[in-house]
Amino acid sequence: MTLHIYNTASRQKEKFVPRDPKNVGMYVCGPTVWDFAHIGNARPVVIFDILARLLRIEYGNDHVNYVRNITDVEDKIIDAAKANGESIDDLTTRTTEAFHEDMAALGALPPNREPRATEHIEDMVEMIGTLIGKGHAYEAEGHVLFDVQSMPTYGKLSGRNRDDMIAGARVEIAPYKKDPADFVLWKPSTPDIVGWDSPWGRGRPGWHIECSVMSKAELGDTFDIHGGGRDLIFPHHENEVAQSCCAHGEETFAQYWVHNGFLTVEGEKMSKSLGNFRTVRELLAEAPGEALRLNMLSAHYRQPLDWTSDGVKQSKTNLDRLYTSLQSLSDVDADLDAVASDVQAALEDDINTPKALTALYALSSAANKETDPESRARLKGKLLSGGKMLGVLLQEPTDWFHNDTDDGISGDEIDTLIAERIQAKADKNYARSDEIRDNLKEQGITLEDGAGGTTWKRV
C-alpha cells in the first residue's frame, strides 16, 4: 500500500509515512453532543472511517489507534440543557447514544478510543498552567487567554495573517484581551453554570484546549494524522497547534492535517431558517443508512458535497444494482483471498471515493457477464473486498432488498400478501393474484416467481 493524502499544512498531496508503523495514530474532532447529528456532522465520520479502514489494512488492526472525541461541556450544551429542563449529564448521555446509533446506521465503525472532555478537566488545568508558566498565556478578569503574539508561527496552518484572524469567524473581541486575536483557555462559571475549581477560580475550559489535551492523553505530544471538517482549520485547529506546540516544546503537533469539504443541501447552505436542516435520524427514516453513506461518497472528500433527494435515490438505485450482482453470485462461494485492487488503489490516492465507486461498479458489471464458476467466485470476493473498504455491501442481499423504511409497507405485510397471492393462485383466483402483484409494484415492491417460490425486493 502506498497511501497519499492531501496535507493541509503543506498544501499538497504527500506520501503517508507514519512516525511508527507499529503505532499509527489518528485524532479526529468529534461531535459536540447538544442535539441530534445533522448530515454535515456525519460527513467527517464517514470519510475518516474509510481512512481508518485503509490504515488497518496496511498496518494491522492492533497497530492503528483511531481516536475521536466527544465534547460534552460547551456553552451550546449548557444552553440546550437549560432550555430542555434537563441536566447536562442527561442531555449528553441521550445525545451521545443517539450519535452512536446514527453513525452505526451509516456503517461507521467505532473508533478505538472515544475520550470525553469532562474526563480530562484536570489535564486541561495542568496544560493551561504550563502555558502560563512558559509565557504563552495570561490571566485577565477570571479568564485565561492564549497570547498569540508569543508564538511567531501562529497562523501557519490556516495561512491567515493577523487581520484575517481578527476578522474571522468566532474570534471574540473583548476588553480584557491583550490582542483581539487572543483566545480563551479557561473562562469563569457563575453559580448556575457547570464549573470546576482551578487556580484561576471556578470555571470551565475553552473549546480549543479540550482537543489538545485529549489528543495528548491518547496519542502523545505528536502523532500522525489530525482530521476534521475544513470549517475547523481556523480557529479550532490553528489554536490546537498553538497550545500543543507551545506547551510541549515541539515544532510539530500532527504530521498530516486532513480536512473534508463543506456540505450544502439542495444547493443552499443548511440552516433551520431555510427549512433544509436535515438530521441523520430524519434521513434514516426515508432511506437505508447504506444509501446515505454511498451518497456521501459520491463526491471527493475535499470537494463540496451538495446533498439532494435525487442523489440519495440514485445511490439507493446503485446499491440495488450492486446487491443484485451479489445475489446473482449466490451459486458460488466468494474467493476470500481476492482483493479489489482497483478500489484500493483509488482510495490510496487521497481517498478518491468517486473513482473507487467506479471500480466497484465495473466489478459488478463483470460479475453479471461472467459464467466461469472460478472467475465468478473471484469476482464475488473482489466485490465484497471493495465493499468492505468503502463500508458498503455488508448485508446479505435478501436483507438489503427487504430493508424497511418508516414510510413504506413492512416486510411482514409483504409476506402476508404473498401468502394470500399464492392461495389465490391455488384457488384459480387470478384476478386477485394480479391485483396483489400490481398493488405491491405501485409501492416499489417487485415479486419474482421461481422454482423455489416467490421472492420480493424493494426497488
Residue 290 grid coordinates: 447504506
Residue ranges per domain, the chain? 4-263, 309-396, 411-458
User: Does domain 4-263 match CATH 3.40.50.620?
Assistant: yes
**Rg (the chain; Cα; Å):** 26
Give every CB contact of residue 36 below 8 A, 6+ residues apart in sequence: 95, 98, 99, 102, 279, 280, 281
Give every CB contact of residue 195 below 8 A, 6+ residues apart in sequence: 188, 189, 202, 203, 204
- Contact status, residue 389 vs residue 53, Cβ threshold 8 Å: yes
Ordered per-residue pLDDT tens for the chain, 459 residues: 699 999 999 999 999 999 999 999 999 999 999 999 999 999 999 999 999 999 999 999 999 999 999 999 999 999 999 999 999 999 999 999 999 999 999 999 999 999 999 999 999 999 999 999 999 999 999 999 999 999 999 999 999 876 666 665 455 678 889 999 999 999 999 999 999 999 999 999 999 999 999 999 999 999 999 999 999 999 999 999 999 999 999 889 999 999 999 999 999 999 877 888 899 999 999 999 999 999 999 999 999 999 999 999 999 999 999 999 999 999 999 999 999 999 999 999 999 999 999 999 999 999 999 999 999 999 999 999 999 999 999 999 989 988 755 556 777 788 788 777 877 777 788 788 888 888 888 887 888 776 556 777 776
Rounded Cα distance, 437 and 456, in Å: 10
pLDDT at residue 170, rounded to an integer: 54
User: Does domain 309-396 match CATH 1.20.120.640?
Assistant: yes
For the chain, the maximum distance between any two Cα atoms, rounded to a whole number of angstroms, is: 90
pLDDT at residue 169, rounded to an integer: 46
Give every CB contact of residue 167 below 8 A, 6+ residues apart in sequence: none
Rounded Cα distance, 458 and 434, in Å: 18
pLDDT at residue 160, rounded to an integer: 81
Q: Nearest 10 degrees: CA dihedral of 246, 250, 254, 257?
A: 70
pLDDT at residue 451, rounded to an integer: 58
- Contact status, residue 180 vs residue 173, Cβ threshold 8 Å: yes
Rounded Cα distance, 214 and 218, in Å: 6
pLDDT at residue 272, rounded to an integer: 78
pLDDT at residue 192, rounded to an integer: 92
- Contact status, residue 329 vs residue 380, Cβ threshold 8 Å: yes
Length of the chain: 459
- Contact status, residue 226 vs residue 238, Cβ threshold 8 Å: no
Map grid coordinates 485547529 to a residue: 237
